[in-house]
Amino acid sequence: MKMGILAFLTEKSGDPGAIAREAENVGFESFFVAEHLVMPSQYKTYYPRGRDGKVPDFYANLIDPFVALAIAANSTSRIKIGTAICLLPERDVIETAKVTASIDLFSKGRLILGVGAGWFPEEAQIMGVDFARRWTHLRESVEALRLLWARDDVRYDGEIVTFPAVKLGPKPVQKPGPPILLGAHDPKYALKRVARYADGWCPGGLTVEKARECIPQVRRMAREFGRDGDKLEFSVLLMGGDGPSADVIKQYAEAGVSRLVVAASAAVTGDGVKAVRDLAPIAERGAKI
């Protein structure tokens, strides 16, 4: 089983390069960083993961993920680096195509782009996103990214994303581009979206039972879209706790999951290197499965 680690990086976490290097040294296969671009001073959205329904204050202080990944790429040589997740509709797609291709180039093809449409209406509105149409916005952004990565003189004419014929470089090392994993959690809607346009799925907290049920469905739907469902990759983000046991890791693997990503929660407000080091046994556990 491939074992990844996710860090919510703030100015208190330390050097992203040192944190990624520690993740590489202790045996993690991949290093992911989270994103929120801006925190509204006032909002009405209820946050279900918090005891008081409030969005954590540190969301306002998250390091830009692509700055963090550029530093991580320069400090490591083997570990995959990625976003979990990038709020793609909140970003300009042309700028995103250039920064992701640049990171993939200088990391020698190690970038994984986890993307999502976002769950925070007030944040989306600030960034110019029509929240009701965010999933269309996300799909069009993914389609446009792939065009921009693959060749020149490309244009895109979507409902939301549009641009005339352009040339854009550099091109990514990975061909036709870095893998794009969809970070959508609700299987009711996510499965069809993954099957239609993503290279894989990276939901948060998906149980083994749900993985057994959903993964065959996604592969079947992908074939219905004319895609090779067997090429899709399935990752699961696991938040909190001591990490999965060896038996649970094995169950996920048997269900078709190829990567488990654990959160180094302590990195938010403390030493990120230590937060990663403390989770080293999880990497060792997964390497044996």
**What is the Cα–Cα distance from 264 to 141, expressed in whole angstroms?**
29
Instruction: Tell me what the pLDDT averaged over the chain comes to.
Output: 97
Could you give the domains of the chain? 2-287 (3.20.20.30)
**What local confidence, expressed as pLDDT, does residue 49 receive?**
84
The DSSP code for 204 is: B
Six-digit token string for 250: 């094995």
**What local confidence, expressed as pLDDT, does residue 242 receive?**
80
**What is the Cα–Cα distance from 289 to 274, expressed in whole angstroms?**
25
**What local confidence, expressed as pLDDT, does residue 240 receive?**
78
- Give the tens place of pLDDT for each residue, 73-111: 999 999 999 999 999 999 999 999 999 999 999 999 999
- Give the tens place of pLDDT for each residue, 21-52: 999 999 999 999 999 999 999 999 999 888 89
Alpha helices per DSSP H over 151-267: 187-197, 208-224, 246-255
> Which residues, 6 or more positions from 105, have their beta carbon under 8 angstroms from its beta carbon?
170, 171, 172, 173
**What is the Cα–Cα distance from 19 to 36, expressed in whole angstroms?**
20
Cβ atoms of residues 110 and 69 within 8 Å: no
Q: Is the pLDDT of residue 206 over 80?
A: yes
pTM above 0.75, yes or no: yes
- Give the tens place of pLDDT for each residue, 253-284: 999 999 999 999 999 999 999 999 999 999 99
Cβ atoms of residues 180 and 199 within 8 Å: yes
Q: Across the chain, where does the E strand assignment appear?
A: 2-7, 30-33, 80-87, 111-116, 154-157, 162-166, 180-182, 200-201, 233-238, 259-263
